[in-house]
Structure formats: C-alpha cells, structure tokens
Amino acid sequence: LFQSFPKGAVCLSFSDLDAGAAATRFYSSISGVFVDGKYPKITYNKARKHKSSAHHAAKYSLETVARALNHSSGVNISSYSEATVEQQESEFGTYWDSVRKAAQMVRERSVTASDKLDSIAVGHCDSFRFPVPVSDTEAPVIQPNCRNQYGCLYCTHYFCHADEDDIHKLLSLHYVVNAVRNTAQDSGHAEVLYKDLSIRVEFILEAIANRSESVSQLVSAMRNKVFNLGALTPFWERRLQRYEAMGVVF
C-alpha cells in the first residue's frame, strides 16, 4: 500500500520539485505529437493571466482574485487584467452604443422646451419621478432612480444642455465618481459600479464638445475649473464632503 524507500534516500517535498523543468519536459513530450509544434509552450505568466481573466469573468471580486493568485489587488490590475477577445468585443459594442446614446441626449435637448424640464444634479429631466432605463444596454449598471443621481444618465428622460450650467454639473459628478473609484476601500465594488458611469459622462461631454468650437472651449474651461481648481457645484461639493466624513474618500 505504501511505497518504501531505500535506506538513506531523500524524500523531496512538493515545494522542492522543479515545476518549471517538469512543465518543459511535459511540453516537449506532447509537442508535435498531441499539439501542433507551431504552438509555443504556455508560460506560467500566461496561465496565471488566464486564471485571473476567468475569475474576473465569473464575477469574483478583485480581492478574491488577487488572493487566489497570491498577490495584491494593485498587481492584479496592473499585470493580470488582460481582457479576452470576447470581452473586448462586448466592451467595444457597449462603447459605440453609449457614444450614440450620449450624442442623442445632447441633440434632443436642443429641441425640447426648457419650461418642460426639471433641473437635477446632473443636468435636466423631462419626466421626474418616472424613471425608464435606456435601451442601449440590456441591464444598466446603475438602475435609474430619482432618489439617486448616479442612475440619471441611464434614464431615457435624462437630457443635457450644452451650456455652462449642465457641463459644470456633469464634470462635478465626474470628479466625485473618480474620487470614489480611486480611494474607496472596496475598490472592486467601486470599480464595477462607477467605471461605466465615468465612461458615460465622458461620452456625453465629448458629444457636447463636438457641437462647435466655442462649446468645446467651454468644456475645456469647465474641466479646468472642476479638476484643477476644485470648484464643484454646491450639490456635489456637499456630497463629496459627506463621503469624506464617512471615510469613503480621503
């Protein structure tokens, strides 16, 4: 039942084995026989990156994936976050859908009477308290909810003027969202929740800037006002201060 070893023999532990050499010998034995010789050996780095991608695709948190690979969350993001072809195709599809939706939000606003709109923290709304998710994605990352300003950009009733007031609101939202993404303790959850929102804000700002040279200059000036001078709208300034007091951002 148990294998006996000659007297004086040294029994190696698993950690003493040369896994790299063993993998090379295994590859050499199957290359050209079971595997086409034109395919190179799968390196440990590639295998670990594949494991990381598979775990992320399975919706494990960033911290869980990092622990499984025995490294930090920062290392996982910087060195093990390669997207699969399928993920890239999906993300590019979402990208262009969002671009078209963002441009539509700005164009339609120019033909809507301002007296029919409610001013909100991120722009304007033409049917407050009656949120309807946009149809450019199957399931919005953040469901529209008139009690939560983060979901407004995923609502069909959201519109944005190409003026200083609404641009200031959008950039202030963008500032707070990035602050949460960069400093939140639960970085995995914050990234999943706010990355798409941050991208969506940029799409809308790009659509606004593309309307004319003067509007593009206005967007640049307001971006400098918010991100370099720290001048947020009163609403988002209070929200940021609340997050700082709660320890969400610091």
- Show me where the domains of the chain are located: 14-79, 85-246
Highest-confidence segment of 43-57, 85-99, 141-155: 141-155
Quote the pLDDT of residue 1: 47
When mean pLDDT is compared over 91-100, 183-192, 227-236, the highest value belongs to 227-236
The 10s digit of each residue's pLDDT in 73-123 is 778 777 776 666 666 666 666 666 665 665 566 644 445 555 678 999 999
Q: What string of H, E and C letters represents the secondary structure of 87-149? A: HHHHHHHHHHHHHHHHHHHHHHHCCCCHHHCEEECCEEECCCCCCCECCCCCCCCCCCECCEH
Cβ(215)–Cβ(207) under 8 Å?
A: no
Higher-pLDDT residue of 168 and 188 is 168
